[in-house]
Amino acid sequence: MDSGLAQRLREGTRSLHRQTEGAGVMPALLRGTLPAAGFHRMQRNLQALYAALEPALQQWAEHPALAPLRQPALARAAVLAADLNALHGPDWASALPLMPTAQVYAERLQHLARDAPALLAAHSYVRYLGDLSGGQALGRVVRQAYGLVGSAGSSFFDFGPPEQVKAMAAQFRAALDALPLDAAQQQAQVDEARWAFGQHERLFEELAASL
Ligand code: HEM
């Protein structure tokens, strides 16, 4: 039986997801033992990814492979910038290092925005469905570990109450399945998502080495 794109993406990235969970700063972050500086650096680098991804998605808002995935409440670049302001201060962009892998990742997103915008769907999947899934548990650990109260510094993890988060994830999966992509185009999305997971793994390792 033919499975939909959501299922293909999940199966195609499952082993890489597991690998990424164990890479670099991730295990300590999950245990709540990563020094706050490491968390700030991670959020700074993730901000750079969203700051590349979201203008590209905006630019291609009407693209048939992207429009169905659009949920304005998913946008994270501005939310993360506000968190970094609260966590580190207004000079976060210059004071917290941008890792080489995050730069390569941002360049890839800019390249896709010019030459292959449909593949931005894979990047939306990797980030937003991740944020709506494991990101929720991570948010609880992070708030506790760094004593974050209210939304200051942790609004990145906040998409509303659990039932809303579930509904957003379900809508995103349904939209993935409805994208007008043939088998080869679906495979290209899986390949792109796999590349994105690999970059995350490298990024988390670079961050660990930087501390
Ligand atoms: C310690 C870190 C992480 C934990 C504990 C974690 C945990 C989880 C969990 C529990 C799910 C739900 C699986 C399901 O619904 O069957 C999930 C899904 C997902 N995670 Fe993570 N995750 C982590 C890191 C990441 C990272 C870094 C990314 C992105 C690079 C990511 C991307 C995703 C995606 C895209 C999904 C959706 C899978 C699907 O249903 O297709 N996760 N994660």
- The DSSP result for 17-52, as a single string, is HHHHHTSTTHHHHHHT-S-HHHHHHHHHHHHHHHHH
49 lines ligand 1 (CB under 6 A): no
CB 78 within 8 Å of CB 52: no
CA of 91 to the centre of ligand 1 (A): 30
pLDDT at 151: 87
129 lines ligand 1 (CB under 6 A): yes
pLDDT at 120: 98
Instruction: Tokens for 23, please give them.
Output: 């890479």
CA of 133 to the centre of ligand 1 (A): 6
Instruction: Tokens for 177, please give them.
Output: 């399945």
Residue length, the chain?
211
pLDDT-derived band at 2, boundaries 50, 70, 90: low
pLDDT in tens, 92-105: 999 999 999 999 99
* CA distances to 13, 34, 160, 191, 200 from 195, in Å: 9, 26, 30, 6, 9
pLDDT in tens, 16-45: 999 999 999 999 999 999 999 999 999 999
Ligand 1 pocket mutation, candidates 13, 34, 133, criterion most atoms within 8 A of CB:
133
The percentage of the chain sitting over the pLDDT mark of 90, rounded to a whole number, equals: 97
Amino acid (1-letter code) at residue 4? G
Average pLDDT over residues 112-117: 98
Residue 108, pLDDT above cutoff 60 = yes
Instruction: Determine which residue's CA is closest to atom 15 belonging to ligand 1.
Output: 133
pLDDT-derived band at 67, boundaries 50, 70, 90: very high
* CA distances to 19, 35, 87, 124, 210 from 74, in Å: 25, 27, 21, 9, 29
Query: Which atom of ligand 1 sits closest to the CA of residue 10?
Result: 41
pLDDT at 3: 83
Cα dihedral 28, 77, 98, 113 in deg (nearest 10): 120
pLDDT at 116: 98
User: Any idea what DSSP says for residue 129?
Assistant: I
Instruction: Tokens for 1, please give them.
Output: 């039986």
List the helix and strand counts (H, then E) for the chain: 11, 0
200 lines ligand 1 (CB under 6 A): yes
30 lines ligand 1 (CB under 6 A): yes
Q: What is the widest separation between alpha-carbon atoms in the chain?
A: 53
CA of 17 to the centre of ligand 1 (A): 6
CA of 172 to the centre of ligand 1 (A): 14
Would you report the helix, strand and coil content of the chain in percent, each value rounded to 5?
75, 0, 25
* Nearest Cα residue to 20 out of 210, 145, 207: 207
pLDDT-derived band at 1, boundaries 50, 70, 90: very low
Average pLDDT over residues 169-174: 98
| Domains within the chain, CATH numbers bracketed | 5-210 (1.20.910.10)
pLDDT-derived band at 150, boundaries 50, 70, 90: confident
194 lines ligand 1 (CB under 6 A): no
Cα separation, 31 vs 98, in Å, equals 24
Average pLDDT over residues 40-63: 98
